[in-house]
Amino acid sequence: MDQNNNKKPNNQKGNNWRGFIHLICWAVLLAVLVSYATTYMTSMGRQASSVELEYSEFLDMLDFGKVAGVDFDNSESILLITPVDGYVYTDGEGREYTKTTLEDGTSAYTFTNALGQEQHASLELFTVRLQSYDAIVEHIQELNRQSGSHGEGEGIRINQDYQPPMSPILLFLVNLAPFFIIILVMSLVMSWMAKKGMGGIGGIGGVGKSNAKVYMEKSTGVTFKDVAGQDEAKESLTEIIDFLHNPGKYTEIGAKLPKGALLVGPPGTGKTLLAKAVAGEANVPFFSISGSDFVEMFVGVGASRVRDLFKEASKVAPCIVFIDEIDTIGKSRDNRMGGNDEREQTLNQLLAEMDGFDPTKGVILLAATNRPEVLDQALLRPGRFDRRITIDRPNLAGRVATLEVHTRNIRLGEDVNLKKVALATAGCVGADLANLVNEAALRAVRKGRKLVSQEDMLAAFELVIAGTEKKGSVLTEFEKKLVAYHEVGHAMVAYKQKNTEPVQKITIVPHTQGSLGYTLLMPEEDKTELRTREELMAKITVSMGGRAAEEVVMDTMTNGASQDIQDATNVARNMVAMFGMSEEFGMMALASRRNQYLDGGYGMDCAQDTAARMDKAVKALLDEAYKTAVEVIRDNREDMDKVVAYLLEKETITGAEMVAIIEGRDPALVESPYASTRPAEIEAPAKKVHMISEKIVAPEEPVPEAGEKASEKPEEEESRDS
């Protein structure tokens, strides 16, 4: 690989010279063809209406006074003859042409056709010049003196604009001048493009030039302090930074640094930001390029760009090369559906470069993707991307740290509780939190405040999930009452069940996301992705609460529950297909996850008749949850009516206010509107325990009574103690 790279500049110069010579040859050939075509067309046009006379006949015409003018044609060395009016030219067929001058001053020849009609023809008489210009002019002037014609316009007219003809070589160069000018302009343009890094004659338009942008530590301005919520990922990358600072420490013991690290995670988690932070911490050059920049419509361009990128990186090593969205060029090579030669060649060149460069030079390759399942296995094997670092959605502590980073330059009020905001934003990534903080700051400015309050933070969160309020929307009394019972149905089912999140807010104000109202549930503590069957069923039941309230109270159904039904169906289908929570199928996996970090969709891995039976199992779960929701609504009808009446008056209430109404207290006296809404009869979930590596001391064994043999051998005791 190094030998090819060393030869590349000389080859590039040779290609430029060859391209320049080819350009000149084509220009010369084009000039010759144009010149020949021009001469041929001129000659053919002249032959169509010209009549050649013998030179002796021309001299006789001069002597007999039948010539009115003589013009010299220097390009073909001929004489153009203009006869006097009345001159009769007879062609080979005996037809006579009489020279006349028309009213507009043009010359014409009249003849009689076969029908006896008089017609005009345009003829041009010429003869080959056999004497020099001076001899012909002297002869004509002598004839003019003999006839006594001395004034202007009298006698035989002679062309006085005569110029000596050019030499053939000079005439050819004159014809080539425009093409040489074009060649000069094109050469200047190509030279300018080459200096700007856009290629020259050997790479027109820069199709083979890498578009990687080099960032230094001062320009990135990103360090690990700017990345929060990804402590595990930063710990994995710290070793790479230490190697770039102290390579001798690793080479001394014989260790080799991993050639590449693959950053995997959902969109917006900070993969690109983390790569820039690594370059900033290591204080080394940072090459950044997107996977789509390699792929062009020309086959071989992507491979050329890969070679150019690694060549430039090796010159400034140690450095970091970052390829974003590597799945664009790193997809698995599969010819079943037709391959992509350009993408596959680019991938092959990338694999070859990763095998070819010396890891001791300090060229570290980082790549990011949110579709690791589609990557080629050759790209993921040890020796290429040795490490796979997951950049997942941050947990509660990570979201708090992320909010602290994004609010570093935001003026916050004393009432702002970032932990409360972090609890509400479960499942959000770093980009979502950054957008939330910015929306809160914009809302504070709109309200005329100098500080961002907790209300602004929660309002920004609601803006993200539900959109802005539709202040101009008008609902009828029936529609307003229907929406109120629908939302209170969700809240009541969530309040009366175990394994649910507390109610935070209820509103019947329409929003731009399409909802006429919503119920906000907020966890009291952070939860992992681990869910029990009871928790999943409770989630489905809460989703069914709105439709159950419509049927029980209003004795009707609306399309407002469409999103609730879809959410409940997805949870139930996952329980049957992937979680093994159905009685019929048990631990059988009927589907598999396809896009883990994108839409989370899955594909069916079962027969069609099995899928039909799976649908029946899903319906059984939904029916069970809906039955539970209807029972809760019927058992708490009086409390619902009280909450709905208050909600219709206020349009927006908190969960604490709903609890106060149910317990018979005045909702206006609620001190903390965001207090916990968990009923006293429902036990709180178990507190989370932080797992640490501690030695567990075994309990002391009871002393055996006399005469009783020890049940365990010393070897067994020793192994148990160890």
Query: Which residues have a catalytic role annotated?
Result: 487
Which residue is it, tokens 């008489």? 125
Q: Closest Cα to residue 321, out of 305, 337, 336?
A: 305
Q: How far apart are CA 329 and CA 55, in angstroms?
A: 79
CB 212 within 8 A of CB 288: yes
Tokens standing for residue 354 = 């990763």
**What DSSP letter does each residue of 580-610 carry, written as one string?**
--BTTTBT---EEES-TTTT--EEE-S-HHH
Q: How far apart are CA 89 and CA 98, in angstroms?
A: 6
Which residue is it, tokens 């507390």? 502
Q: Closest Cα to residue 76, out of 30, 34, 38?
A: 38
CB 110 within 8 A of CB 119: yes
CB 180 within 8 A of CB 173: no
Phi, psi for 286 (deg, rounded to 5): -130, 110
What Rg value do the Cα atoms of the chain yield, rounded? Answer: 46
Q: How far apart are CA 372 and CA 175, in angstroms?
A: 63
Q: Say how far residue 534 (Cα) sits from the centre of its chain.
A: 42
CA dihedral 530, 532, 537, 540 (to 10 degrees): 0
HEC secondary structure over 82-148: EECCCCEEECCCCCEEEEEECCCCCEEEEEECCCCCEEEECCEEEEECCCCHHHHHHHHHHHHHHCC
Positive/negative CA dihedral, 640, 642, 643, 647: positive
CB 359 within 8 A of CB 254: no
Residue 200 CB partners (closer than 8 Å, separation 6+): 16, 19, 190, 191, 193, 194
Q: Closest Cα to residue 350, out of 316, 313, 319?
A: 313
Phi, psi for 436 (deg, rounded to 5): -65, -45
